[in-house]
Structure 1
Amino acid sequence: MNATVYYRGSLSSCNYDCPYCPFSKTKDSADTLAVDRQQVRDFVVWAGKQHAEGHRLSVFFNPYGEGLIHRWYREAMIELSSMEHVDKVAIQTNLSARLDWVEQLDARKAAFWVTYHPGQVSEEAFLGQCMALHSRGVPFSVGSVGVKSAFGALASLRKQLPDDVYMWVNAFKDKRNYYSEADKDALRAIDRHFDRNAVDYESLGRSCRSGYDVFYVQGPGLVKRCYKDRGVLGHLYRDGLNGLSQKRACRMNVCDCYIGYIHMPELELELEGVYGSRLLERIASSVGGGD
């Protein structure tokens, strides 16, 4: 099986304090961090055994918080990128951690989904981190939540980033009718694919690769069809990918999250034209701002 595995451990704290983000409202204890470290280690060990099971893996770390400030996430990415049967390993990160370790990654497999948080970091410091990745030849995209207070900062960053770095904007959906048409035009100038994220996709009863060859894993090994569906499909370490895999229709009314709707078969051809082989990493084939 060619499987995509999203992994989220017990980590639930961040070194940033963004007002719109639920990940920044807790501080993990030493015990919680120790549990998270062991869970990540267990997952990497499991991944290493999948070659013998005939599986190829693409792995995406999307912790509830900032992972790369913790050594075990950096080590996990290095180790996974060295495995022959792992095609990709990516992580969602605010890129605040040191980057000297990146040189140990296999840049043909590793990628970064980088989130920019105006108000938490200066543009100069953030851009410096991005350029450090860029100079090392490690693929990455950059993005942010499109709250109105950030419009100026996002436009400024887009101008400073290299033309070959794709910058995405996640639509702020906590308030109905949040954007005017002028707002949408401003965001399209930053991210020409903004409209694809600005809508909610009707999904109830529709086909999705989640639970078939896409799996959302939580730290102890619990596997869900997706993070927003509370139903548990089974246990990664007990059932294995073959035991978990089954075609399943979506149980949610809509799918509004990038890491969810990209796995809807009805969108595959359209999204392949946008992202090519970089769909998981969210790196568009055509980058830059608007036309």
Structure 2
Amino acid sequence: MQATIYYRGKLSSCNYSCPYCPFSKTVDSKETLMQDREQLERFMEWVREQQHYGHQLSIFFNPYGEALVHSWYREAMIELSHMSHVNKVAVQTNLSVKLDWTAQLNPTKVSFWATYHPEQVREDRFVAQAMTLYQQGIVFSAGTVGLREAFPAIHRLRARLPEDVYVWVNAFKDRPHYYSEAEVEELSGIDPYFRYNLQDYDSLGQSCQAGEHVFYVQGSGIVKRCYQDKRVIGHLYRHSLEKLSQDRPCQMKTCGCYIGYIHMKDQPFDSMYGSHLLERVPQSYRTLSTAMQR
């Protein structure tokens, strides 16, 4: 079967200190980091075994914190990108780590979801990192949280990155009715898909790929239907993917995060993003990229 695995290990710390993020206030102990590494090694063993069963996998690393500052995540991405039964390996990252290792990646299978934190990194530095990926032919999207104080930085980021790089804006939803209609229009001028992220989706009882072909895996092997839905549906190292896979309607009232609502079956995101759904690159930008290369 074809399956998407969201993997989140023991890691719960970040090298940035964004005030709105709880993981910026956590420092992992040596013991925690060792456990995180051991968990990832066990997960990699499982991935290797899946070739024997004929499974095709897409893997997305979305840790609590920044993964790529740790060598075991970089090494895992390199290996996964060269596995014949892995269709894609993607990662959420702030792009703070040196990118000399990315030359070892298979650029046809790897992708980056790069989050820009204008209060944590110089603009020139982030743009240079993004352009390194661009020049290597690695697919990526870039963006940030749409806080009002970040609007000028968001405009500059859009202006400095190539036209065929999708720049997304995550809606700030901690405060209800945060944006005026004029601000929504302004952000939509940067991210034409901003309104899709701005809304929450009625999801209770709705059919979703989560729990059927999409699985949220914790480092210990516990498998949940969705990162928000707390139901445990099995264990990765005790149950086969076939046994884990069931049509499981959502039990949450609403779904408001990109990595959740994109898998709802009655929404248009599969057709909008196609094979670049995980890394958040719309089809229109891939078409633009192809046209610009001619």
Coarse TM-score class (shorter-chain normalised): over 0.9
The code of the aligned residue for 1:80 comes to: L
Deviations 1:6-48 (A, max 9, x none): 0000000000011111221100000000000111111111001
Structure 1 unaligned blocks of 5 or more: none
- 3-state SS, counterpart of residue 283 of structure 2: coil
The aligned counterpart of 1:276 is 274
CA deviations 1:263-286 (Å, max 9, x no partner) are 11101xx22342122111101122
Q: Residue 71 of structure 1 aligns with which residue?
A: 71
Q: Which residue does 1:176 correspond to in 2? A: 176
Q: Is the 8 A contact 2:13 2:28 kept in 1?
A: yes
CA contact (8 A) 2:146 2:169 kept: yes
State the secondary structure of the residue aligned to 2:215.
strand
Whether the aligned pair in 1 keeps the contact of 2:262 and 2:270 (CA below 8 Å) is: no
2:193 alignment counterpart: 193
Report the Cα distance in structure 1 between the residues aligned to 2:133 and 2:42, rounded to whole angstroms.
Answer: 28
Query: How big is the alpha-carbon RMSD for the aligned residues of Structure 1 and Structure 2?
Result: 1.0
Runs of 4 or more, structure 1, over 2 Å off, are 285-288
| Equivalent residue, structure 1, for 2:140 | 140
Structure 1 residue 71: deviation in Å? Answer: 0.1
Shift of 1:226: 0.5
The reply on whether 1:217 has 2:217 as its aligned counterpart is yes
Distance 2:58 2:191 in 1: 25
Matched, 1:243 2:243: yes
Alignment partner of 1:3: what SS? strand
Residue 127 (structure 1) aligns with? 127
Aligned-partner SS, 2:237: helix
Aligned equivalents of 2:274, 2:216: Cα separation in 1: 22
**Cα distance in 1, alignment partners of residues 126 and 278 from structure 2:** 23
Report the equivalent of 1:104: 104
Matched, 1:15 2:15: yes
**In structure 1, what is the Cα distance between the partners aligned to 2:89 and 2:131?**
20
Q: CA deviation at 1:240?
A: 2.1
Match of 1:265, SS? coil
Q: Secondary structure at the match of 2:197?
A: helix
1:214-253 per-position Cα deviation (integer Å, ceiling 9, x unaligned): 0000110000011111111110011121121111010000
Structure 1 equivalent of residue 291 of structure 2: none
Partner of 1:81: 81
When structure 1 is superposed on structure 2, of 274-283 and 115-124 the one drifting more is 274-283
| Secondary structure, aligned partner of 1:286 | helix
Distance in 1 between residues matched to 2:152 and 2:252, nearest whole Å:
35
Query: Paired residue for 2:292?
Result: none
Instruction: Give the gaps of 5 or more residues in structure 2.
Output: 289-294
- Measure how far apart 1:182 and its partner are: 1.3
* d(CA) in 2 for partners of 1:272, 1:262: 7
Counterpart residue type for residue 100 of structure 1:
D
* CA distance in structure 1 between the aligned counterparts of 2:272 and 2:117, rounded to whole angstroms: 25
Q: Which residue among 269, 283, 286 is the counterpart of 1:285?
A: 283
SS of equivalent to 1:187:
helix
Identity %: 59
* Aligned mates of 2:144, 2:21 — CA distance in 1: 11
Cα distance in structure 1, aligned partners of 2:77 and 2:169 = 25
- Tell me the CA shift for residue 80 of structure 1: 0.6
Whole-angstrom CA distance in 2 between matches of 1:238 and 1:138: 35
Per the TM alignment, residue 54 of structure 1 is displaced from its structure 2 partner at its CA by 1.7
Asked if 1 retains the 8 angstrom alpha-carbon contact of 2:91 and 2:113, the reply is yes
